[in-house]
Amino acid sequence: MLLLDYQNILIQSVLTERLSGAPPVNIDQIVSDFDGVTFHISTPEAKSKILVSINVKCFNELVQYGAQQVLEREYGPYVVTPETGYNFSVQIDLDALPEDKGIYYFLSSGFKRANQPRSLQRLEMISFDEYPC
């Protein structure tokens, strides 16, 4: 049996390192996950502003059932206009992080939720079996 973690280790490690106070560096990495989801993590504006974008094949279908509202509610002030070719983007400004350290864990581990249609749907009580991607 193959066990796959629900989080993308590369995204998590890059964000954890940056949120832990490591010196800012240029980032430009595209990562494809086991479920066909594509992430782009980059610093297009400045080394201290990390953009994380996600492309989910069935995103438009998920939006019909409230996924956009869930993501906006969960990521609030970090949501930005999606990067071209991606469905959803958030930007983390390392120079303007809140004092609450709990948000660091959420940001470094929570992005996988954005690419888990089943998790989003469970969160909002929508049946994946009824509305498959």
User: Which sequence spans correspond to the domains of the chain?
Assistant: 9-123
Residues of the chain falling short of pLDDT 70: 1-7, 100-133
Residue with tokens 């594509």: 38
pTM exceeding 0.85: no
pLDDT, residue 127, reads 41
Q: Which fold has domain 9-123?
A: Yope Regulator; Chain: A, (3.30.1460)
What distance in Å separates the CA atoms of residue 98 and residue 77, rounded to the nearest whole number?
11
Q: Give exposure, 15-44, as e/b (b: 16+ Cβ within 10 Å).
A: beebbeeeeeeebeeeeebeeebbbbbbbe
pLDDT value of position 96: 86
The two three-digit tokens of residue 15, written as one number: 């964000």
Instruction: Provide the pLDDT for residue 75.
Output: 84
The amino acid present at 74, given as its one-letter code, is: E
